[in-house]
Amino acid sequence: MDELSEADVFDLLRRHCNPAGCEQRIVRVARPDAHGGVGSVLYSIEGGPPRGYALYIPDRRSLNVYNSYGRRVHVLTDTLVYDAPKRPTPMD
Protein backbone atom coordinates (compact mmCIF):
# COMPACT_ATOMS: atom_id res chain seq x y z
CA MET A 1 0.00 0.00 0.00
CA ASP A 2 1.27 3.46 -0.91
CA GLU A 3 0.96 6.36 1.51
CA LEU A 4 0.69 9.95 0.34
CA SER A 5 0.28 13.27 2.08
CA GLU A 6 -2.10 15.95 0.88
CA ALA A 7 0.97 17.88 -0.34
CA ASP A 8 1.76 14.90 -2.61
CA VAL A 9 -1.81 14.98 -3.94
CA PHE A 10 -1.47 18.72 -4.62
CA ASP A 11 1.81 18.14 -6.50
CA LEU A 12 0.25 15.34 -8.54
CA LEU A 13 -2.72 17.54 -9.42
CA ARG A 14 -0.51 20.47 -10.41
CA ARG A 15 1.75 18.25 -12.51
CA HIS A 16 -1.10 16.64 -14.49
CA CYS A 17 -3.59 19.51 -14.69
CA ASN A 18 -1.67 22.76 -14.45
CA PRO A 19 1.18 22.54 -16.98
CA ALA A 20 1.69 26.30 -17.09
CA GLY A 21 2.92 26.11 -13.51
CA CYS A 22 0.57 28.78 -12.21
CA GLU A 23 0.55 28.96 -8.45
CA GLN A 24 -3.16 28.64 -7.82
CA ARG A 25 -4.64 27.51 -4.55
CA ILE A 26 -5.96 23.97 -4.17
CA VAL A 27 -9.47 23.67 -2.73
CA ARG A 28 -10.41 20.61 -0.67
CA VAL A 29 -14.00 19.50 0.04
CA ALA A 30 -14.78 16.39 2.09
CA ARG A 31 -18.25 14.95 1.46
CA PRO A 32 -20.11 12.80 3.98
CA ASP A 33 -21.12 9.19 3.55
CA ALA A 34 -24.37 7.64 4.82
CA HIS A 35 -22.93 7.15 8.31
CA GLY A 36 -21.58 10.66 8.89
CA GLY A 37 -17.97 9.83 8.03
CA VAL A 38 -16.02 11.00 5.00
CA GLY A 39 -17.21 9.29 1.82
CA SER A 40 -15.00 11.19 -0.63
CA VAL A 41 -12.56 14.08 -0.77
CA LEU A 42 -12.47 16.31 -3.84
CA TYR A 43 -9.35 18.37 -4.55
CA SER A 44 -9.57 21.03 -7.27
CA ILE A 45 -7.48 23.91 -8.55
CA GLU A 46 -9.12 27.24 -7.70
CA GLY A 47 -9.91 29.78 -10.37
CA GLY A 48 -10.89 29.68 -13.97
CA PRO A 49 -10.90 28.19 -16.42
CA PRO A 50 -11.30 24.77 -14.79
CA ARG A 51 -7.99 22.94 -14.75
CA GLY A 52 -8.76 19.56 -13.24
CA TYR A 53 -9.47 17.76 -10.01
CA ALA A 54 -8.58 14.72 -7.94
CA LEU A 55 -11.06 12.44 -6.20
CA TYR A 56 -9.99 10.39 -3.18
CA ILE A 57 -12.30 7.66 -1.83
CA PRO A 58 -11.00 6.55 1.59
CA ASP A 59 -12.99 3.29 1.83
CA ARG A 60 -11.63 2.08 -1.52
CA ARG A 61 -8.21 3.67 -0.99
CA SER A 62 -8.27 5.05 -4.52
CA LEU A 63 -7.12 8.38 -5.90
CA ASN A 64 -8.18 9.41 -9.40
CA VAL A 65 -6.92 12.55 -11.16
CA TYR A 66 -9.07 14.07 -13.93
CA ASN A 67 -8.15 16.79 -16.41
CA SER A 68 -10.34 19.76 -17.34
CA TYR A 69 -12.19 17.62 -19.93
CA GLY A 70 -13.18 15.05 -17.32
CA ARG A 71 -10.77 12.41 -18.61
CA ARG A 72 -9.05 10.32 -15.99
CA VAL A 73 -5.33 10.94 -16.42
CA HIS A 74 -3.89 9.18 -13.38
CA VAL A 75 -5.12 6.35 -11.15
CA LEU A 76 -3.63 5.23 -7.84
CA THR A 77 -5.16 2.17 -6.18
CA ASP A 78 -4.44 0.83 -2.71
CA THR A 79 -3.32 4.30 -1.67
CA LEU A 80 -3.81 5.99 1.69
CA VAL A 81 -3.80 9.78 1.97
CA TYR A 82 -2.85 9.80 5.63
CA ASP A 83 -3.65 13.43 6.38
CA ALA A 84 -6.96 13.56 4.48
CA PRO A 85 -9.81 15.05 6.52
CA LYS A 86 -11.59 12.75 8.95
CA ARG A 87 -14.78 14.85 9.08
CA PRO A 88 -16.94 16.20 6.25
CA THR A 89 -16.58 19.86 5.26
CA PRO A 90 -19.43 21.95 6.70
CA MET A 91 -21.56 23.43 3.93
CA ASP A 92 -22.88 27.00 4.14
The pLDDT tens digits along the chain (92 residues) read 789 998 898 888 888 776 666 667 788 899 988 888 899 999 988 776 667 899 999 999 999 999 888 889 889 989 888 888 887 877 65
The DSSP element (H or E) to which 14 belongs, if any, is helix 6-17
Name the DSSP class of 3: E
**The pLDDT of residue 20:** 66
Q: Report yes or no: 40 and 54 within 8 Å, Cβ to Cβ.
A: no
For the chain, what is the mean pLDDT? 84
For 45, phi then psi, to 5°, come to -85, 125
At residue 31, the 3 state secondary structure works out as strand
Confidence (pLDDT) at 55: 94
- At a CB cut-off of 8 Å and minimum separation 6, what does 42 contact? 28, 29, 30, 31, 53, 54, 55, 56
| pTM listed for this prediction | 0.83
